[in-house]
Amino acid sequence: MSNAKSMIETVSNIFNAADAKLAGMANKDRIQLKEMAQSIANDLRLDPKDVLGFVTYFARNTDAGYVSRGKNGGLIKGSRPAKNAAKPAASVDSSDDDSSDDDSSDDE
């Protein structure tokens, strides 16, 4: 069990370091997850490949920031901005109702 305790301590150190880095950022600042993992790995003297999965997990599950994809993506400190209001549904115009059966009668 001593190996499991050591692993739990290492993961705890990774999460604490990620939390400290996020807390040190200004609101709306962003950092790429790979850059954050590299920085944490250097601080803790670990392999960045081993740290990246835990940093990704932390980023996706923290309340202090959110993950954004794309060219300017990464971990962004703060809360996710609200989406724009959805466009109202097109109203159904009942004045164009063709209820007359002029051309559709079958007289056979």
Is residue 100 a part of any domain in this protein? Answer: no
Using a pLDDT cut of 90, give the percent of the chain over it: 38
Number of independent structural domains in the chain: 1
Q: Do the domain assignments include residue 104? A: no
Predicted pLDDT of residue 82: 75
Let me know if residue 89 belongs to a domain. Answer: no
Identify whether 67 is part of a domain.
yes
Least Cα distance to 52 among 63, 41, 42 occurs for 41
What integer pLDDT is reported at residue 77 of this predicted model? 79
For residue 57, being part of any structural domain is answered with yes
Determine, yes or no, domain membership for 22.
yes
The string of pLDDT tens digits covering residues 41-50 is: 999 999 999 9
Residue 39 CA to residue 16 CA, distance in Å, equals 13
Residue with tokens 């939390």: 19
Q: Report the CATH number that the domain containing residue 31 is assigned in CATH.
A: 1.10.10
Residue 10 has pLDDT above 70, yes or no: yes
What local confidence, expressed as pLDDT, does residue 76 receive? Answer: 82
Domain that holds residue 8: 2-77
Average pLDDT in the chain:
81
